[in-house]
Amino acid sequence: MSTFKVAQRMERIVPFYVMDLLARAKKLEAAGRSIIHMEVGEPDFTAPRAVIDAAQAALAEGKTGYTPATGIPELRQAIAGHYRDRFGLPLEPRRIVVTPGSSGALQLLMGVLINPGQQVLMTDPGYPCNKNFVEFVSGEPVSLPVGPDTDYQLTAEMVAKAWTERTRAVLVASPANPTGTLLSRQELEQIYRAVRSRGGVLIVDEIYQGLIYDQEPFSALEVADDIFVINSFSKYFGMTGWRLGWLVAPADCIDSIDCLAQNIFLSCSAPAQYAALQAFSPECLAIFEQRRQIFRQRRDFLLPALQQIGFSVAVAPQGAFYLYADCSALTDDSFRLAYDLLDTQGVAVTPGKDFGCNRSAHHIRFAYTTDVDRMSEGVERIRRYFS
Ligand SMILES: Cc1ncc(COP(=O)(O)O)c(C=O)c1O
């Protein structure tokens, strides 16, 4: 055991439970078991060839040094072009900061916006790291329980009710992890007004924005210019391990964000940034669009298949690649169920416990990041388990 005492905040920062499950799954796989992975939150697609070629070219040309902390100007320009083409939004590239994934963006925003003791409101269930980004700057994460009645999203009313003198920010995600549900434009506008009228800041995580299935996507930046928006090359662009994302912030905050980014990251990976330029080429965008259709087909397969077994999904997910299924008709202990499914059937899923404590023992997250054939086999094994 280490003789060094870690900081007290580490008592409140817990690891992902699913990591232990994943390690167990890998061990079983190494021992020859067939494991169907529906636990991992990353696309089974990699970066398109053109992006990989661009990375190799950048390496060969020696484009491997530090870059400006806010990202190479070409990439900030390309991201601005993406907002223009997709949403008709004229964005000054200066307002865009390239970050090490949206994780880097969240870290920067918490560092720049949150004082010790200030509260950040968020959903439970929600992306597990969110509260830890707040803890990291000695802020206080406040998780508000949400359910099917509000599509697992916050409402302006909830924000108003939870607001205290110490509340500084609200963090929402649309589409959300683990539920895949969206915030409507109207609800987002109302939350924005509730937050701004109280002098707070609204942060919108749009990491799954490209992966929306039944309606046209929009960006929170269409609602207002002074919303902090984060995004990433991880999910829609299939580049999780490249560690590249971005944030869009009001112009007058950029110098502070730049200053913090210089200090904590120096810069993002240079070859990854040059490669990411290619992600916006028509050729790559066409590939991402095909993949979006594949994810939609997978959702359309998995949702009724799980319902037939006895899982209930109160709000059909409209984005991301997750299904947050209520398993209360089948068990009172989703954590145990996740381990049982892995051990007895070789199916890996994520227990609700990873996303908070609001009815988490009654929920399982299924990620449709594997093809329909494998999922179909997975569903069959789960059916077998319950019969
Ligand atoms: C909602 C949400 N935000 C942020 C992240 C962080 O992703 P990355 O740092 O790879 O961009 C994830 C990853 O799963 C996520 O689900």
For ligand 1, say whether the CB of 205 is within 6 Å of any of its atoms: yes
Q: Among 97, 179, 183, 235, name the best residue to mutate to test ligand 1's pocket (greatest count of ligand atoms within 8 A of Cβ).
A: 235
Mean pLDDT of the chain: 96
Report phi then psi at 228, rounded to 5: -90, 120
For ligand 1, say whether the CB of 127 is within 6 Å of any of its atoms: yes
Which is it for strands 36-37 and 363-367: parallel, antiparallel or unpaired? unpaired
Q: Among 16, 79, 207, name the best residue to mutate to test ligand 1's pocket (greatest count of ligand atoms within 8 A of Cβ).
A: 207
Which residue blocks in the chain are alpha helix, DSSP H? 17-30, 49-60, 73-87, 101-113, 129-136, 156-162, 185-196, 254-264, 270-276, 282-309, 334-340, 372-386
Summarised one tens digit per residue, pLDDT across range 322-345 is 999 999 999 999 999 999 999 999
Q: Nearest Cα to 147, choosing from 344, 324, 369? A: 324
User: What's the CA gap between 284 and 47, in Å, rounded?
Assistant: 9
pLDDT level of residue 3 (50, 70, 90 thresholds):
confident
Residue ranges of the domains in the chain? 8-46+284-386, 49-281
Of the chain, the percentage scoring pLDDT greater than 70 comes to 99
User: What's the CA gap between 323 and 111, in Å, rounded?
Assistant: 32
The DSSP string of 181-201 is ----HHHHHHHHHHHHTTT-E
Centre of ligand 1 from the C-alpha of residue 158, in Å: 24
User: What's the CA gap between 108 and 307, in Å, rounded?
Assistant: 40
| CA distances from residue 233 to 126, 166, 198, 240 in whole angstroms, order as listed | 20, 33, 33, 7
Beta bridge partners, 173, equal 205
For ligand 1, say whether the CB of 177 is within 6 Å of any of its atoms: yes
Tell the CATH topology of 8-46+284-386: Aspartate Aminotransferase, domain 1 (3.90.1150)
Q: Which CATH class is domain 49-281?
A: alpha beta
- Is it the case that residue 1 has pLDDT exceeding 80? no
Beta bridge partners, 323, equal 366
Summarised one tens digit per residue, pLDDT across range 199-237 is 999 999 999 999 999 999 999 999 999 999 999 999 999
Centre of ligand 1 from the C-alpha of residue 103, in Å: 6
User: What's the CA gap between 376 and 363, in Å, rounded?
Assistant: 20
- Note the pLDDT of residue 329: 96
The token duo for 279 is: 């992600």
Smallest CA separation from ligand 1 atom 2, residue = 127
Centre of ligand 1 from the C-alpha of residue 102, in Å: 6
For ligand 1, say whether the CB of 232 is within 6 Å of any of its atoms: yes
User: What's the CA gap between 144 and 161, in Å, rounded?
Assistant: 10
For residues 229 and 219, the answer to whether their CB atoms sit within 8 Å is: yes
Which is it for strands 119-124 and 140-145: parallel, antiparallel or unpaired? parallel
Centre of ligand 1 from the C-alpha of residue 171, in Å: 13
User: What's the CA gap between 45 and 64, in Å, rounded?
Assistant: 25
Among the ranges given (30-44, 65-79, 182-196), the one the predictor scored with the smallest mean pLDDT: 30-44
Instruction: Using the structure block, give the residue that is written with the tokens 């990202």.
Output: 71
- Is it the case that residue 355 has pLDDT exceeding 80? yes
For ligand 1, say whether the CB of 378 is within 6 Å of any of its atoms: no
